[in-house]
Structures are given as structure tokens and as C-alpha cells.
Structure 1
Amino acid sequence: MRLLLFLNLPLIVTSLSMAVGGGGKHLSADMRAKLKQVAQQMATPGKGLSACDEGPATIGGRFEAVGVTNSEETRRVYRQMLFTAEGCENYLSGAILDPETLYQKSDDGVLFPELLKSRGILPGVKPHLKIYELPGTNGDTVMQGLDSLAVRCKEYVAAGAVFAKWRSPLVIDVSKGCPTDLAIKANMQDLARYALICQSEGLVPIVEPDISLSGTHTLEVAIDVNIKVQAELYKAMIDHGVYMEGSTLKPNIVNPGKGCTESYTVEEIGEANIRVLRDVFPVAMPGANFLSGGQSLEDAAARLSAMNKVKGNSPWNLSFSWSQALQLPLLELCRGKGELCLEEMGKLYVKELEIAGMAARGEHEWKEGEGSHGVGKKAMVGV
């Protein structure tokens, strides 16, 4: 038997090397190199992503909540402020755009993707469509839009986008058994298929498994669910042949549910996030840009900084991709004034980005209570 195994060793080794080959074999060497370069630029230390991809209705609701009229022109000049605020390029490696914004122009007539590129900021796009509730899962959902994705990706590339982001939202509800195994598998398969299509069309895919802050679950339950979800995601990506070096992650910050009655320090929350990444996050992927998910800037920055302080020799760049944490304070400047206060908003925005950039380097020092979870703590911003 030993002699037989020895004689067949070359065949066994050859078969094994074929079986464990990396993804992206359908891509040309030039395309793989471009995808990898963009993914690495997105993972520039100390820089993150501005998530300004809210659809017209979502951003319009935020405008109207502070007394600003929602219109395409209002949305255009608001996004222009986010792209041109003096110094924002020092803290941003990229900006995620709604398809509407992708085709809009600055006051000078320059398409926003070209404006961003001129400032060293990579333009990306949100390609997923509407959310759909999976029957028989007690409320679990999936995103729609895969069938038309390849055609739309071609259009987005032609418009100047270099990366994309697909969000798959999940909710932890222990009493309902959510997220169900079916929902986890369906969403992670969708993310993998989306990533494969994006890369085939020349876009770096950001995969976003977004587990909501809502619920009463403990931090320990959150760790277990996040590991399960992300493990399913990376297996699906590898099974689909996704080029891992040319993709990035946008995860939720691993937190206890907002209704959890147990207390946790910001250090414990930071360690929980590193625990999840060390268990399952592929070394091949260059970075993770955490979403804020309804957390205040103070909490999100404290938790991101805590992660970076304890990540040790973990190889990934851990940064931010925040929407509400950065934008809601800006909109509060306009409350009751009936219009966008663009100059004030731009100055505050850069100050916020400076905090985010320091958190991405593990240099942000939080105040007592910021980033912790406990009874009596000031409520987080609504999701």
C-alpha cells in the first residue's frame, strides 16, 4: 500500500494543486491586477469610504426631517459638498454613490466620478435594487437585482465607477430563530454571485453582510452569528471562483442588540470584532470598512479605534464606510433653516472625517462611556 501511494504521489499532488487553485481564473492577468490595485487603494491606512449611496427617497426623508425640500438639485449640491469639502481627500479612499449621483455633474460641469478621481478618491456605486421578504422565514429578507446586474455593471463602468457595494441585511431575533439557515445561505450565495459578476465586468465588489443592531441578543450571540454568516460568505465566494484579492468587506460592527440588558465595555466590543475576523476573514482580502448601522459617530469611532488598538499582527486594514454617523450631524445644522448650510456642513464633515481617520489608525481616544454598551447609556441614533 505504501509503495502504491508513493508511485501515485505525483498524480495526487497535481490533482491537489488543481483543486486548491485560487479564484478569478476566468479573468485576464491585467484585469486581476487592476482589481487588486483598486482593492488595495480602498484599503489605504487611515482612509475610509464615504457611504453616500442613499436613494432619493431615503436621503429625501432625512432632508424633510430637518425642513429641507427634497429635489434632485438639492441632492446634487449636497453630494457635491461631500466630494469637495476642503481636506476630505486626506481621509477618503473612496465614495459609494447612488446610481443617480453617478450621472450627476458638479457646478463646473464635471461628472462626479471624474471629480472624485481628480482628488484621489475612488468612485463606486450601489447596484442592488429592492429588498424582498423570504416566505416562511419569520421576516428574513434578500436583495433583488442580480438578473440585470451584468448589464448595469457595464453601464456603471462606462460612467466611471471602479467598485460596487451590495448590502445583504439580516436581523438577529433569537425568539423567531432569525436569521434562519435558509436566509443566511441565500444572502451569502447572492453576495458571491454579485461579486463574481462585478469582477467579470471590471468592478471591485464590496460584500456587505449587514446584521442589524436591533434585538436583545448578547455580545456572545452576536459573535456566534457573525462567524456563521461570514464563514458562509467566504465559502460561497470561493465556490463561485471570486478573486479574493480583488474584493473587500463591509461588515457591521459586532455589537450586542440595542435592547440587550447586559453591559459591555468598548474594549470588549473591539475584541469581539477582532475575534470574528481572526476566525474566518481571509488573509487574501486586503481590508474591511465597517458600516455604522445607526451608531453615533462617537460610538462608531470608539469601537473602530478599539479594534485597531487590539488587532495586533492581524494583516487587514480596518477602516470605516459610514453614512448616518457622518451625515446626520451635518443635516442637524440645517434644522429649521429651510435650506442646506453647505459651508458649515463642509467644515463639520472634514472634522468628522478626521476623527474617523484617527479611529482607522487606532489613534482616536474616546471619552468615558463612548463605544460601551450598558443600561442607562444614551440611546444610539435610530437605524
Structure 2
Amino acid sequence: MDHIGQMQRTIERLTSPGRGILAADESYPTITRRLSDHGIESTEENRRFYRGLLASTPGIGEYVSGIIFFEETLGQRNDDGVMIPAACEQQDIVPGIKVDKGVVELAGSGGEKVTQGLDNLGDRLDGYRDQGALFTKWRNVYSITNGTPGVQALEANAEVLARYAAIAQSRGMVPIVEPEVLMDGDHDMARCAEVTEAAQSTVFAALRRHNVILEYIILKPNMVLPGKSQPRPSPEVCAEETLRVLRRTVPAAVPTINFLSGGQTSEEATANLNAMNRAGGAKPWVLSFSYSRALQNPVQAAWNGDPANKEAAQRAFLHRARLNSLARKGEYDPSMEQASV
């Protein structure tokens, strides 16, 4: 299949009705921190067991269209001896791969960050594709203070994100473009909206500059929310403010916007996505999820590092994924939180 045809097929699968993306691509330090929150040691075997458990949850393909993995996972097998990417394909779930190498200080910026990982990216993508990955992810982070992000950080991050996306598409892989404005801080919603609009506007200008085909990307943005120390807005207010920014910045050619959960509780992330899909006004894109913590936290709590809890953990995953599937259709209600799978 040619590269355009491959990307078209991947987008069609990832945007199929009622489904969204699981981000299970935590780096070694991040997965260690997440598991330790539940008293679980981050050994290679525990990571293999856990990520295999996610990909092999019976029926999960009804609600999850893609899973982003960390590179370690592409070479691991589940408990049935099936390679984890192949186990995804058995349920019509597209395997994906995180390809950035984390953030470093942006020289000359006074301490702001830029994402690294462009070196040898094309060669790495060839290897990941051979292991079954069909889409990719690259994350930028933007911290909000009174004076940041500055123009230098906005433009440097947009440039590397666009270069990454162009390289991914040259391999026939669909790039997730993730400009995350962090929730850390005491800023209000208006400041988050201002920074989010600036970040996304700069990213799309760079994508055009690098001839990235917008029809074959996935945007993974933050929702417009105040800093963690501020009171939480209603889902309707979050939806209104987020959609206003998206309408200003995201071309209708982009097929799908899959939000990150970014520090929200599982329930908050689901309710906010639901409110966006219920809101009126123009929405030319699919509005779905690409959650990490908001999907996985209940699963890790149920698993607790004990193989005997595998089925309970899979039930928790199926339940959480089903609620987000309903939110993608605007059919979620908080009363469903207590219902059994």
C-alpha cells in the first residue's frame, strides 16, 4: 500500500465511531512514578504484564481504536505468548509508538523547555513500523507563568513538532501532534486559553511550512482549564472555552482531535469530553480521547501488582473505556460511574 493509502486507512480505523485512543506510552521514570502510587514496583516483567493486560482485555476493541506504546512494549509478548502489537490487531486496535525523547532546556530561553528526538528519527520509525506500529506521538510541553511561554519557546517547539510530523508521514505513519499546555500553576482559564491559542496557532503555521498533510494528522491538545490550584469549572464552561480556541486555530482539514487528560480526574476528563460533544456550534472534527492517567488509574488500582487481579483490572479498564466511548457520543451521565460493566 502506498503511504497516502496507508495513512488514510489508519485514520479511518482510529476515528471509527465510539472509539478513542489509550496512551500507554509512559517513559521509564513516568511509569515508575505511576505504578509506585499504587505500591507497584516498575520491573520489566510488571510492565510487560500490565501493558499486555491492557491490550488483551476482552472486548476492549469496541471502545479503543488505538494504543500508544513505549518502545519497550513493541518487543514484548502478552501472557498468551502473542506479541503485544499483534494482540492489538486481533481486536482491530491500531498499535502506535511514542517517538520523542523528552524535554531539555531550550538554550537562551531562561529555562523554558523544548522536546528532543529528531536525530535518526526516520531510521527509528522504519524499525517501529516493522514491529507493527502504524501511528506515532510527539509531545511538546508549555508551562504557564506570567512571562512564559515566550515567542522563542513557542516557535522552537512548533518547528520540531512539524519536522517530526513530516518525517512520520514520509514513512506512511500518522503523527499525533501533541502541544500540551500544562495545568501546573495558579493561572485562570483566560490565561490558559491565551497560551493554548498561541501554541496551536504556531504549531499549525509550522505544519504548513513543512508540507505536513493535515488530513493525516491527529491533534492531541489540552483542554482549556485553570491551573490546579484554582476551582474546577463546570464541564459546560470547559467545553465552551476549549471549543472557542479550537475553532480559532484548528483547520477543518484535521480529521480528529483526541484530547489528553492532563492532570484531570477520570470522572472530570470524561464529563468534559461529553460536554464538548453535546455543545452546539461548528465542530468539523471528531472529538475523542487519548487519555493516559484518566483511563489507567482505576486499572492500576484494581490490579495492584497482583497477577490474580488481572480480570478485575481488565473489568475496570473496560468500564472506564466504555464511559469515554459514551462521552465521545455525548451520551455519558455521571450516574453511570457506579454501574457495573
Report the TM range for the smaller structure's normalisation. over 0.9
Partner of 1:103: 75
Paired with 1:156 and 1:168, the residues of 2 have a C-alpha distance of 21
Paired with 2:133 and 2:164, the residues of 1 have a C-alpha distance of 16
Paired with 1:318 and 1:170, the residues of 2 have a C-alpha distance of 22
Partner of 2:288: 319
Residue identity opposite 2:208 in structure 1: I
The 5 A counterparts of 1:1-383 are 30-174=2-146, 177-260=147-230, 264-335=233-304, 341-366=309-334
Contact 2:179 2:199 (C-alpha < 8 Å) held by counterparts? yes
Q: Give 1:340 shift.
A: 6.8
Paired with 2:223 and 2:237, the residues of 1 have a C-alpha distance of 12
Summarize deviations over 1:263-298 as a string: whole Å, max 9, x none: 632211111111111111111110011011121111
Paired with 2:56 and 2:282, the residues of 1 have a C-alpha distance of 35
Q: Give TM-score scaled by structure 2 length.
A: 0.94
Q: Give 1:49 shift.
A: 0.5
Contact 1:68 1:339 (C-alpha < 8 Å) held by counterparts? no
Summarize deviations over 1:82-132 as a string: whole Å, max 9, x none: 011122111011000000001111233322112111210000000111310
Q: Larger relative CO (CA 8 A, sep 6+): 1 or 2?
A: 1
Contact 2:53 2:78 (C-alpha < 8 Å) held by counterparts? no
Contact 2:6 2:173 (C-alpha < 8 Å) held by counterparts? no
Give 3-state SS (helix, strand or coil) of 1:167's partner: strand
Q: Give 1:197 shift.
A: 0.4
Paired with 2:94 and 2:303, the residues of 1 have a C-alpha distance of 28
Contact 2:21 2:68 (C-alpha < 8 Å) held by counterparts? yes
Q: Give 1:331 shift.
A: 1.9
Residue identity opposite 1:189 in structure 2: E
The runs of 5 or more residues in structure 1 that have no matched partner are 1-28, 368-383
Partner of 1:10: none
The runs of 5 or more residues in structure 2 that have no matched partner are 336-341
Q: Give 1:188 shift.
A: 0.8
* Larger gyration radius, structure 1 or structure 2: 1
Contact 2:225 2:233 (C-alpha < 8 Å) held by counterparts? no
Paired with 2:285 and 2:8, the residues of 1 have a C-alpha distance of 14
Give 3-state SS (helix, strand or coil) of 1:54's partner: coil
Residue identity opposite 1:45 in structure 2: P
The size of the alignment, in residue pairs, is: 335
Computed over aligned residues only, the root mean square deviation of the Cα atoms, in angstroms, reads 1.7
Contact 2:302 2:316 (C-alpha < 8 Å) held by counterparts? no
Q: Give 1:311 shift.
A: 4.6
Give 3-state SS (helix, strand or coil) of 2:197's partner: helix
Q: Give TM-score scaled by structure 1 length.
A: 0.84
Structure 1 residue runs of 4 or more that deviate by more than 4 Å after TM superposition? 337-340
Paired with 1:117 and 1:288, the residues of 2 have a C-alpha distance of 23
